[in-house]
């Protein structure tokens, strides 16, 4: 499995495809960015899947601020892609 994930991280086209599919699933209003409401929904879903408490509004704001490198108040694709890269790299470590 780790060699498969490493291959994705090293293949820009595969990485872009996976990141774009994930981004499009989160960007439910098709705006081209992930806003606070969309982020809250996905974080709540992830928490539910893990059997954890849903995130607070403050948790959501903290995640948004962490991912929003250009301080636009929204997460653009390239910012989201960096998150996907970090997740994939953590899986192979």
Domain that holds residue 39: 2-92
pTM: 0.83
d(CA 27, CA 39): 9
pLDDT tens-place string over residues 4-49: 888 888 999 999 999 999 999 999 999 999 999 999 999 999 899 8
pLDDT for the residue 91: 84
- CATH no. for residue 27? 1.10.238.10
**Residue of 61, 58, 59, 64 lying closest to 79 (CA atoms):** 64
Domain count, the chain: 1
């Amino acid at each position: 499995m780790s060699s498969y994930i490493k291959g994705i991280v090293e293949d820009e086209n595969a990485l872009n495809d996976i990141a774009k599919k994930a981004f499009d699933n989160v960007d439910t209003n098709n705006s081209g960015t992930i806003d606070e409401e969309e982020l809250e929904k996905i974080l709540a879903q992830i928490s539910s899947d893990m059997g954890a408490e849903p995130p607070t509004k403050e948790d959501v704001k903290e995640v948004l601020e962490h991912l929003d490198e250009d301080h636009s108040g929204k997460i653009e694709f390239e910012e989201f892609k960096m998150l996907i890269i970090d997740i994939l790299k953590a899986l192979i470590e």
